[in-house]
Structure 1
Amino acid sequence: MNRIAWLLLAFLLPLAAAAGPAAPAAHPPGAAVASAHHLATEAGIEILRQGGNAFDAAVAVSGVLSVVEPISSGLGGGGMWLLHDAKSGRDVFVDGRETAPAAATPDKFLDAKGNLDPQRSQNGPWSAGIPGLPAMLVHVAEKYGRLPLKQSLAPAIRIAREGFPVYARMANGYAVKRQVMDRYPGTRAVFSPGGKPIREGDVFRQPDLAATLERLAAQGFDGFYRGTTAKRLVAGVNAAGGQWTLEELAAYRIKEREPIHFRYHDWNITTAPPPSSGGIALAQMLQILAPYDLKAMPEAERVHMVVESMRRAFRDRTFYLGDPDFVKIPQRLLLSPDYAAGLRAGIDPDKATPSNLLSGQPTPLEDEETTHFSIIDADGNRVAATQTVNLLFGSGLVPPGTGVLLNDEMDDFALKPGTPNAFGVMGYEANAPKPGKRMLSSMTPTFMESRDKVVVLGTPGGSRIITMVLLGILGYDAGLEAPQVAALPRYHHQWLPDVIDAEPKAISAEAAQALQAMGHTIELPPDRAEGGRGSSHVWGNLQTVEWDRRANVMRGGSDPRNPEGKAAVLAQP
């Protein structure tokens, strides 16, 4: 955390002390929604006003994001949602991750020399896994919601049919990916109607996607995974050179899993289990850091300790984590405080620990792809939901007549052991593709709960998701509120490449010099590293909401890096 944030904290704490003690409230005074697009947040509030709960609102928010953020997520992708049911007190992780088609064996992604072919793993029909998000919407609505799916999806259907203004991030992303997207007639029909590519300010209408959403709303699971939509998806993928079957679509199933629970200082943390790597990595990092008084440390020493915790967690991610339905994960060991103590013992407080097998490649950015939203309702139900199509506009392929932009999640498998994927992370047998297997993810939807606060948070960002959530937790632990947490500067380390990547103002020039003297390599922004190849822009899109039990108020924080995002609070009538 930089000096500005700590000064802000120093200002906030005396105010909190002056207010005096108060008993924590038993129920929230209203609801709060934060998402990456104002239309999605407004849809969630609309459904809450209609009598829906947080889970109905989540379906509405997700549905609208699937329409207005094709750059980030959609019906052709998947998601990982963390739910808390206030009545039962139960937390559940709902796994809507994509699955590998049977034909997508590792050899399909290699070139003639046996090297990983990014064109196959990141673009087009072979890059796409079987989508999970439509099944997620049906599952959550039917099992946890109050309202019919048709009602919760109505805002998404309306916006898909009537259109919305194309914003700069979407137009710029399309310009980057257009060469790939223009290969496919179904994609051209959506994004270059009449041969005219979308531009900022255009009204973007998606009648085929509206019809697909209507079939899903009316028929539930069968409205997407069987019948008209399924036939069009399979036909479109196979016509583009891929190999899907109707049977694979119909066989897709949502998985409910037990979340990861652990304690950090005064907080109970609930987060994502495998096939997300986020929860285990988050628990390892926080348990390594738990004995330290980070607030009292000089900046360079604090960043050093946090980076060393990141390094060790990402090393374990590489070798041990995958789909728990296919591989045995030593989860109990990896989550053990004793194991964390052993990792901590290997940290030299004055010197960086070199990572092995340095690739020498910078960590690619993923600020626009993937999306997250957070919700707490007036009953205390809560949702932390992260969903994605993986890279920018996913595979770039829209099967004709569906409006569904397919993901490119196959790149998240270890398609060639020991070879980094688009995010610079690598894997081995634990994350190798097999028919029906779910690829490893970094999605880290998370709850924090103390006597005084309930917090929901998460973010997009590829492998950076985990470290952004870590820094968000540290911000809340330091006393910051939702808007300040969403705005915190960020830095990241993922074992390989052995580099600290930092946003502007995340690390002071003085601290950077001290870290370099310790042996760290830092990719500084150009204004601090003239001529360097550091990040020239910020990353992430953190969305968080909190219920302050002491003050009995709701707050939301939508990442100021994203001008389309919005946090909104709905007061209880």
Structure 2
Amino acid sequence: MTSSPRRALPSLLVSTIVISAACAPGAWAKSPVATGTGGAVATISEQASQSALAILNQGGNAVDAAVAAAATLGVTDPFSCGIGGGGFMMIYLAKDKRVITIDHREMAPANFKPSVFQQDGKELNFDEVLASGMSVGVPGTVRGWHEALDRYGSMSLRQVLQPAIKVAADGFKVNANFSRLVASNERKFQLFPATAKLYLKDGKALPEGSLLRNPDLAKAYRELGAGGIKVFYEGKIARAMVDAVNHPGAKVRAGAMTMADLANYEARIRQPLRSTYRGYELYGMPLPSSGGVAVAEALNILEGYDLKAMPRDKVEHLYLEASRIAFADRNAYLADPEYLEAPVQGLLSKDYAARRREQINPQRAASHAAAGDPYPFQDDQSVPLRPAAAKLLAEGAHTTHLTVSDKEGNIVSYTFTIESWGGSGITVPGYGFLLNNEMTDFDFSGPHPNVPEAGKRPRSSMSPTLAFKGGKPAFSIGSPGGATIITTVLQTIVNHVDLGMTMDQAVDAPRLSERNGAATDIEPGYAATGAAQSLESYGQRWGGTPREIGAANALLFNADGTVTAVSEGKRHGTGSALVQKKAH
């Protein structure tokens, strides 16, 4: 997800809970790793993982369980995801041995044009746009859930929403992390009465231990279950969304969304991007997500080195430099494929990667990488314009990722979002869900492939990934974190495949995020380590305030037929990885 160079906020991070379906609730034990048979799930939320497991135990498949988990995350993790946003779902159908993706990214309303975020020839203040009606894109999540269930699920939307309805109606206890997130958004939430009523008490964040009920969201889910997607895109909920966007309050800028914008929204069934890396077959998200291209290009560059024979500091130096180059190309070329023809074939070419690899000094960090020219490396006889150097854009880091498998071997890797913490800050009155601010993922001015246009989907970094070896599933991996999604997924793959770490070690390792900026983002405490000092000898530089990066969730498919669910073991927050039947 791309937004603006004006802020860099912390990403969601999780730990894990393990459960055996045969255990009583009181026997649940926390652990960052769960291995078992049957289905498996890893999410940021205990309630969301329990919802997925309940659906699996009722005979639902991975798609059913993923939607159930996602709906529950909309209750317990409302500041990063929900039905007011959009996302990218990757599905592996075991029977057909086929991978498909569902793009339900938010879309620009019909009134959008490249100058929508400009006034008198100057870009509008980013924070002013962020908390406004004009930042809201047409939500795609509900349409995405419908397409997933209708094409690949075995249960109805009404059935899979039941666990989330119960959590919303009965409530859940606010933990310290939830309260902290509200506190950091008090000023934004105070602008919108429906949001303040739900998440603030006397203008301040709900304290830890509060019981938070959301009966309005329970009502929205019930109406969706009873009336289907027409309720959301053409009915009462649609009208409520349009009113909320166009009349958000006197102190904020209004949007110009119409009922036609909502009624015209469509999800896209897209072919995944396929690449290879050291014997693995990798499937990533296609455009308008840049994640699949950027991860694959960086891995193609790294494939030319014998990383297993190198010390860890050398491997991490090369990882940072490959990431820098991949981001230079990503920023220059990638955007919604329905609005431009990006040179994806060239960017994914192994020969192009070899040419880009020549730009890396194995002993010294670059200060900046220029975009390459991938056009000669694809079958394209046109003479396209070459892009000018693009400025580095920061991205909202407040997304969530979940992954689910079932006993039949189907897998879902799903990343979805409302963009910044709390999205636009606008809660739809009477329906209890926050609306996205995803339109800030566009570049505010051009010329650039990712400028706003009517009906366009802003470029994303979401990178749900599936890996296969010998034709069989090997692992799934994904993370939230804005543009750091790409580096988190990339670094976790390098840790696991090249450095030989177990998946939980690969997830827990310190993260470094180089996105072709002046310096690399690092996590708290890293700068004082020997590892950091070793990388500094290569000229690597650390910038900004150290913050936790990403919240990876993974599934590892073992040779003995078991599945290992892995989530964050030490970063803040509390996630949940569950298996249907625990291995002993």
Q: Residue 393 in 1 paired to residue 406 in 2?
A: no
What is residue 25 of structure 2 aligned with on the other side?
Answer: none
Query: Do the aligned residues in 1 keep the contact of 2:89 with 2:412 (CA within 8 Å)?
Result: yes
Q: Distance in 1 between the 2:182 and 2:204 partners?
A: 12
What is the percent sequence identity of the aligned residues? 36
Q: Distance in 1 between the 2:527 and 2:322 partners?
A: 17
Inter-CA distance 130–507: structure 2 relative to 1 (3 Å threshold): same
Alpha-carbon distance, 1:520 to partner: 2.7
1:106-129: CA deviations, max 9, x gaps?
A: 433235571342134321211111
Query: Do the aligned residues in 2 keep the contact of 1:111 with 1:117 (CA within 8 Å)?
Result: no
Q: SS at 1:470's partner residue?
A: helix
What is residue 294 of structure 1 aligned with on the other side?
Answer: 307
Q: Residue 472 in 1 paired to residue 482 in 2?
A: no
Query: Do the aligned residues in 2 keep the contact of 1:110 with 1:117 (CA within 8 Å)?
Result: no
Query: Do the aligned residues in 1 keep the contact of 2:81 with 2:418 (CA within 8 Å)?
Result: yes
What is residue 561 of structure 2 aligned with on the other side?
Answer: 552
- The higher relative CO (CA closer than 8 Å, separation ≥ 6) is in 2
Among 332, 340, 350, the residue aligned to 1:337: 350
- Mapping of residues 115-264 of structure 1, within 5 Å: 115-192=123-200, 197-240=205-248, 241-264=254-277
Alpha-carbon distance, 1:232 to partner: 0.9
Q: SS at 2:337's partner residue?
A: coil
Q: Distance in 2 between the 1:507 and 1:342 partners?
A: 32
What is residue 91 of structure 2 aligned with on the other side?
Answer: 83
Q: Distance in 1 between the 2:177 and 2:118 partners?
A: 32
Inter-CA distance 205–511: structure 2 relative to 1 (3 Å threshold): closer
Inter-CA distance 234–366: structure 2 relative to 1 (3 Å threshold): closer
Query: Do the aligned residues in 2 keep the contact of 1:541 with 1:562 (CA within 8 Å)?
Result: no
Task: Give the partner amino acid of 1:546.
Answer: L
- Greater displacement, 275-284 / 136-145: 136-145
Alpha-carbon distance, 1:366 to partner: 5.7
1:63-101: CA deviations, max 9, x gaps?
A: 001111012101111010111111111111100100011
Inter-CA distance 461–58: structure 2 relative to 1 (3 Å threshold): same
Task: Give the partner amino acid of 2:575.
Answer: G
What is residue 494 of structure 1 aligned with on the other side?
Answer: 515
Q: SS at 2:116's partner residue?
A: helix
Q: Residue 327 in 1 paired to residue 336 in 2?
A: no
Query: Do the aligned residues in 1 keep the contact of 2:328 with 2:369 (CA within 8 Å)?
Result: no
Inter-CA distance 515–481: structure 2 relative to 1 (3 Å threshold): closer
What is residue 543 of structure 1 aligned with on the other side?
Answer: 553
Query: Do the aligned residues in 1 keep the contact of 2:179 with 2:205 (CA within 8 Å)?
Result: no
Alpha-carbon distance, 1:32 to partner: 0.9
Q: Distance in 1 between the 2:256 and 2:561 partners?
A: 54
What is residue 434 of structure 1 aligned with on the other side?
Answer: 453
Query: Do the aligned residues in 1 keep the contact of 2:103 with 2:267 (CA within 8 Å)?
Result: yes
Q: SS at 2:89's partner residue?
A: strand
What is residue 372 of structure 1 aligned with on the other side?
Answer: 401
Alpha-carbon distance, 1:407 to partner: 0.6
What is residue 101 of structure 2 aligned with on the other side?
Answer: 93
Q: Distance in 2 between the 1:388 and 1:150 partners?
A: 22
Alpha-carbon distance, 1:296 to partner: 2.4
Alpha-carbon distance, 1:277 to partner: 0.5
Q: Distance in 1 between the 2:323 and 2:46 partners?
A: 33
Among 284, 292, 316, the residue aligned to 1:271: 284
What is residue 69 of structure 2 aligned with on the other side?
Answer: 61
What is residue 10 of structure 1 aligned with on the other side?
Answer: none
What is residue 38 of structure 2 aligned with on the other side?
Answer: 30
Inter-CA distance 476–511: structure 2 relative to 1 (3 Å threshold): closer
Q: Residue 314 in 1 paired to residue 322 in 2?
A: no
Q: Residue 520 in 1 paired to residue 520 in 2?
A: no
Alpha-carbon distance, 1:167 to partner: 1.7
Alpha-carbon distance, 1:103 to partner: 2.4
Q: Distance in 1 between the 2:395 and 2:339 partners?
A: 30
CA-atom RMSD in angstroms: 2.3
1:112-161: CA deviations, max 9, x gaps?
A: 57134213432121111110111111111111111111110111111111
1:304-357: CA deviations, max 9, x gaps?
A: 211110011000011100000111111110100000000011212122222169
Among 427, 431, 443, the residue aligned to 1:402: 431
Q: SS at 1:45's partner residue?
A: helix
Q: Distance in 1 between the 2:533 and 2:138 partners?
A: 47
Inter-CA distance 481–259: structure 2 relative to 1 (3 Å threshold): same
Task: Give the partner amino acid of 2:521.
Answer: D
Q: Distance in 1 between the 2:112 and 2:189 partners?
A: 21
What is residue 53 of structure 2 aligned with on the other side?
Answer: 45
Task: Give the partner amino acid of 1:166.
Answer: V
What is residue 565 of structure 1 aligned with on the other side?
Answer: 575
What is residue 422 of structure 1 aligned with on the other side?
Answer: none
Q: Considering fraction of residues, name the structure with more helix.
A: 1
Query: Do the aligned residues in 1 keep the contact of 2:283 with 2:465 (CA within 8 Å)?
Result: yes
Task: Give the partner amino acid of 1:559.
Answer: E
Task: Give the partner amino acid of 1:342.
Answer: R
Task: Give the partner amino acid of 2:356.
Answer: L
What is residue 442 of structure 2 aligned with on the other side?
Answer: 413
Q: Residue 450 in 1 paired to residue 460 in 2?
A: no
Inter-CA distance 355–347: structure 2 relative to 1 (3 Å threshold): same
What is residue 4 of structure 1 aligned with on the other side?
Answer: none
Query: Do the aligned residues in 2 keep the contact of 1:71 with 1:393 (CA within 8 Å)?
Result: yes
Q: Distance in 1 between the 2:511 and 2:303 partners?
A: 20
Inter-CA distance 505–284: structure 2 relative to 1 (3 Å threshold): farther
1:478-507: CA deviations, max 9, x gaps?
A: 443332232121101001x22122224657
Inter-CA distance 479–513: structure 2 relative to 1 (3 Å threshold): closer
Query: Do the aligned residues in 2 keep the contact of 1:54 with 1:376 (CA within 8 Å)?
Result: yes
Query: Do the aligned residues in 1 keep the contact of 2:527 with 2:542 (CA within 8 Å)?
Result: no
Task: Give the partner amino acid of 1:489.
Answer: P
Query: Do the aligned residues in 2 keep the contact of 1:502 with 1:522 (CA within 8 Å)?
Result: yes
Q: List runs of 5+ in structure 2 lacking aligned partners.
A: 1-35, 249-253, 371-388
Inter-CA distance 244–253: structure 2 relative to 1 (3 Å threshold): same
Q: Distance in 2 between the 1:301 and 1:381 partners?
A: 37
1:189-213: CA deviations, max 9, x gaps?
A: 3223676742221111111111111
Inter-CA distance 392–563: structure 2 relative to 1 (3 Å threshold): closer
Inter-CA distance 439–245: structure 2 relative to 1 (3 Å threshold): same
Q: TM-score, length-normalised on structure 1?
A: 0.86
Task: Give the partner amino acid of 2:482.
Answer: G
Q: Distance in 2 between the 1:244 and 1:501 partners?
A: 36
Q: SS at 2:521's partner residue?
A: strand
1:282-312: CA deviations, max 9, x gaps?
A: 0101010012222321233222211110011
Alpha-carbon distance, 1:31 to partner: 1.3
Q: Distance in 1 between the 2:542 and 2:582 partners?
A: 48
Q: Distance in 2 between the 1:67 and 1:273 partners?
A: 29
Q: Distance in 2 between the 1:51 and 1:511 partners?
A: 47
Task: Give the partner amino acid of 2:340.
Answer: V
What is residue 111 of structure 2 aligned with on the other side?
Answer: 103
Inter-CA distance 568–70: structure 2 relative to 1 (3 Å threshold): same
Q: Distance in 2 between the 1:571 and 1:347 partners?
A: 47
Task: Give the partner amino acid of 1:555.
Answer: T
Alpha-carbon distance, 1:412 to partner: 0.6
Inter-CA distance 257–104: structure 2 relative to 1 (3 Å threshold): same
Q: SS at 1:375's partner residue?
A: strand
Alpha-carbon distance, 1:540 to partner: 1.2
What is residue 481 of structure 1 aligned with on the other side?
Answer: 502
Query: Do the aligned residues in 1 keep the contact of 2:133 with 2:247 (CA within 8 Å)?
Result: no
Q: Distance in 2 between the 1:473 and 1:505 partners?
A: 23
Task: Give the partner amino acid of 2:509.
Answer: L
Alpha-carbon distance, 1:185 to partner: 1.9
